[in-house]
Amino acid sequence: MAFRDFDLDSVESYVAGHARLFISLVVGVVILVGFAALMVFFIAVKGAEETMVPDIRGKELTEALLELQVKELYPRIQLRYSQSSRDRGTILEQEPSGGTIVKAGRRIRLVVSQGVIMDRVEDFLGRDIDDVRMDLQALAASGDSGGGPLITIREPIMYEYSQEEAGVILQQAPLPGTEISGPTSLVLVVSRGPERSMIKVPDLVGLPLQDALEQLRTVPASFVFSIRDTRDGERPESVVAQSPEALAVVPSDTQLNIVVSSPNSLNTNEVFDLFTYELPRNPYPLPVLLEALLPSGERKRILQTDHPGGTLTVPYRLPVGSVLILSMVGRERTRQELHYPQASRSFEQL
C-alpha cells in the first residue's frame, strides 16, 4: 500500500507541474500575440505619410484626379448641376479644403458640375457668338437640359457695327432670366466691329492663278472668281482683270471680282473649272481651307484665307478623280469628287 501511495503522489505532482507549465506557456503566447498585434496596429496607424490636400476647385476633373494621384489621395465624386454650362466637368467643391494636412490614402470628396438645367434664359450679352453656339450644341448633345426645352439661335442673326469686337453679342431676346416654358428661339444682335473698317486691294493682274490665290491669304475679304477664254497677249491661267482696281482702299465688306484666263490645253483626264460653295455669313472673316485629295493619295492645298462668308468661288486645275474638301474653322463643310470632263467648253466673262 505504501508503494502504491508513493507512486500516486508522484504522478499527481508530475501532472500538476506540467499543467502549470502548459498554462504559463499559453498565457505567454497570448500576451506575445497581443503585443505583436498592438505593435502592428500602431505601426500601421503611425506609418502612413502625411500630405497636403491640393486646392483643385475650378479645375477640370481629369486634371484634379491627376493631382490627387500624385498626393496618394483618392476621390469620392458627387455630381451636381451648376449655374453655367461652362462649368461642366469642373470641380465645384472639395472636402477637406486645399491646404489641409491629411494621411496618405485619405478619400477626398469632390463635387463635380454636370452642367446646367436650362429652366431660365442665360445671360449671353458680351459673349462671343461662336462660344454660345458651341455651348448650346454641347448642351443639346449631352442632355444637360434636364429633359426640358432647349434654346436655339434664330437664323439669320442680325449684325450691326459697334465699338465692341466683331462677334460679341450686343442684344438678346428673351432677356436674361426669362423662364423657359417651351422650345425657345433666341434672337441675337451681334457686333460687326467698328464701322467701315478699310482694306487695301491687292494687285493681282498678271499673276499666275496659284500666286493670286496665295496673295488672297492676306486679304480678309470676300471675292468672286470668273473664267474667260485667253485673248491675244494674255498668259493662260492668270489674272487678267480685277475690280476694284489694285491698291484701292475700300471698306472691308467690299467684294473683289477677279477674272482668270483659261488654259490653252489640258492633259488627258484633267479638269479646269470653278469650285462654288455658299458659306454661312459671319460678322468677321473666319479661316477657310480648300484642299484637293488627289487620286495618288497626296493632299494638295488650293486656297487658305480668312473669309466673311457668302459665295466662295475658286478656280482649280486637277486630275479627274480628285476630291475637293472645303473646311471652315477646321470643320469640314463639304467635299466634291471631280468626274470625267464633258465636251470642251468656252469660258465667257461672268
97: DSSP letter: P
Share of the chain above pLDDT 90, in %: 45
User: Do the domains 50-113 and 198-337 sit in the same CATH topology, yes or no?
Assistant: yes
Flag whether pLDDT at 150 surpasses 80: no
What string of DSSP letters covers 178-238? PBP-S-EEEEEEEE--STT-EEEPP--TT-BHHHHHHHGGG--S-EEEEEE---TTPPTTB
Beta pairing class for 223-228 and 249-251: unpaired
d(CA 8, CA 4): 6
Res. 16 pLDDT band, cuts 50 70 90: low
DSSP-based three-state secondary structure for 258: strand
The overall average pLDDT reported for the chain is 84
CATH 3.40.50 is the classification of domain 129-191 = no
Using a 10 angstrom Cβ sphere, with 0-12 exposed, 13-18 middle and 19 or more buried, the burial of residue 293 is middle
Mean pLDDT value of segment 90-115 = 90
Number of other residues whose CB lies within 10 A of the CB of residue 280: 12
For residues 160 and 277, the model is more confident at 277
Mean pLDDT value of segment 28-57 = 77
Return the pLDDT at 2.
46
| Residue ranges of domains in the chain | 50-113, 129-191, 198-337
Flag whether pLDDT at 344 surpasses 70: no
Using a 10 angstrom Cβ sphere, with 0-12 exposed, 13-18 middle and 19 or more buried, the burial of residue 215 is middle
Return the pLDDT at 211.
95
Residues 238-290 pLDDT 10s: 999 999 999 999 988 889 999 999 999 998 899 999 999 999 887 678 889 99
CATH code for the structural domain at 50-113: 3.30.10.20
CATH match for 198-337 among 3.20.20.330, 3.90.550.40, 3.30.10.20, 3.10.640.10? 3.30.10.20
Mean pLDDT value of segment 154-173 = 86
d(CA 317, CA 48): 71
